[in-house]
């Protein structure tokens, strides 16, 4: 399928980010805007197919947290079973040795990546995936870190995949001299997005109220892949298929035969929610299924026609006390199903209370699936 700029780009205003005042929102990505899981995954597989054609000999695919975790995971599944997969993260990974790098324009600057899979890697080509490439500085930062830490990667070529890329030809040439090239689903001409959002009358998302509305918890028996510490495409495909089938079968018994259902991922945990949603779309034709996710990214709320975030709230994180999350585009559903890989019981309870409080007129049936 051919995707155009109008399919994948909406302009929003970041809230109180002095480094960059705008955010490019992709309505098909399943992060900020609810979308059919099958439609989101089709777009992600299109990028994967393009990268397979352009860099099929790559030995490793790296996905950037948090917004590109689903894109990169779905793209990796287009490759052979032996392709290694690793995502960057802002979460703690215990005793795993991590390398840090900076994402300069982000609301949360520091990212990290597990070092063990990189230390053992021997490949002529590495793919990295982000949702949108603007200046390429984040890419330069992490590649510089990797080449400094692992001398064997100094001659390795890097292919950067993205849904949107707006690099100038001059910038592309400069990065190509560092053996870095770019492949995108939708090239976008760069323009003055800062000025475009300067006149937007936006307001901050307010904190949702806590609610004691009950919810049902399901602990999945099929484990999720080790996205943050390294896996391969074959293991990932099998684990996700089993997880989606197990959780989808459970939900088939619980959900109505018709209605609107939301599969909500949490921060970096997006792909398991999408895959479970895809299962329901396939097996429950009476359901209208949507997916998106909570995020750390604060976006201004604006009710102007065409603006991608006309409503939104602050929530507690499923992962960490004191961390603020956001949820945008709250709509009417017959059930909301949260899919998370958080292991923090107290934070999950707190986050579900705030989530229920965000839907007082829109939904009163909630499920929490813990992977």
Once rounded to an integer, what is the mean pLDDT over residues 197-215? 95
What does the DSSP assignment read for 216-229? EEEE-SSPPP-TTT
pLDDT in tens, 321-337: 999 999 999 999 999 99
pLDDT in tens, 68-100: 999 999 999 999 999 999 999 999 999 999 999
Structural domain boundaries of the chain? Answer: 13-30+38-188, 206-370
pLDDT band at 133 (very low <50, low <70, confident <90, very high): very high
- Do the domains 13-30+38-188 and 206-370 sit in the same CATH topology, yes or no? yes
Q: Is the pTM of this model over 0.75?
A: yes
- What is the model's pLDDT at position 102? 74
Domain 13-30+38-188 coded CATH 3.40.50.2000: no
User: Domain 206-370, what fold?
Assistant: Rossmann fold (3.40.50)
- What is the model's pLDDT at position 57? 97
- What is the model's pLDDT at position 144? 93
What does the DSSP assignment read for 106-138? SSS-EEEEESHHHHT---SEEEEEEEEESSSHH
Q: What is the dihedral of CA 133, 139, 140, 141, to 10 degrees?
A: 130
- What is the model's pLDDT at position 104? 56
């Amino acid at each position: 399928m051919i995707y155009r700029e109008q399919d994948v780009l909406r302009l929003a205003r970041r809230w109180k980010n002095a480094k960059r005042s705008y955010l490019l929102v992709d309505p098909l990505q399943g992060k900020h805007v609810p979308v059919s899981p099958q439609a989101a995954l089709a777009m992600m597989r299109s990028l994967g197919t393009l990268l397979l054609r352009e860099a099929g000999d790559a030995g490793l695919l790296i996905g950037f947290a948090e917004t590109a975790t689903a894109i990169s995971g779905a793209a990796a599944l287009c490759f052979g079973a032996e392709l290694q997969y690793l995502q960057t993260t802002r979460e703690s990974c215990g005793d795993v040795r991590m390398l840090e790098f900076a994402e300069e324009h982000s609301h949360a600057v520091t990212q990290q990546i597990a070092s063990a899979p990189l230390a053992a890697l021997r490949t002529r080509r590495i793919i990295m995936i982000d949702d949108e490439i603007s200046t390429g500085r984040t890419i330069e930062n992490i590649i510089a870190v990797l080449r400094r830490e692992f001398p064997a990667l100094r001659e390795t070529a890097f292919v950067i995949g993205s849904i949107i890329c707006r690099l100038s030809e001059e910038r592309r040439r400069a990065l190509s001299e560092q053996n870095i090239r770019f492949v995108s689903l939708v090239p976008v001409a760069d323009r003055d997005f800062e000025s475009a959002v300067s006149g937007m009358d936006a307001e901050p998302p307010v904190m949702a109220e806590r609610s004691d509305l009950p919810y049902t918890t399901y602990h999945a028996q099929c484990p999720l892949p080790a996205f943050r510490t390294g896996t391969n495409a074959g293991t990932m495909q099998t684990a996700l298929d089993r997880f989606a089938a197990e959780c989808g079968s459970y939900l088939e018994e619980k959900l109505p035969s018709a209605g609107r259902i939301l599969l909500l991922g949490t921060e970096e945990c997006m792909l398991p929610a999408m895959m479970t949603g895809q299962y329901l779309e396939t097996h429950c034709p009476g359901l209208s299924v949507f997916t998106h996710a909570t995020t750390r990214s604060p976006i201004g709320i604006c009710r102007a026609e065409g603006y991608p975030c006309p409503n939104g709230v602050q929530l507690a994180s499923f992962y960490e006390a004191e961390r603020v999350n956001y949820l945008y585009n709250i709509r009417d559903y017959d059930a909301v199903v949260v899919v998370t890989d958080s292991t923090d019981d107290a934070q999950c309870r707190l986050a579900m209370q705030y989530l229920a409080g965000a839907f007082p007129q829109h939904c009163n049936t909630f499920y929490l699936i813990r992977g």
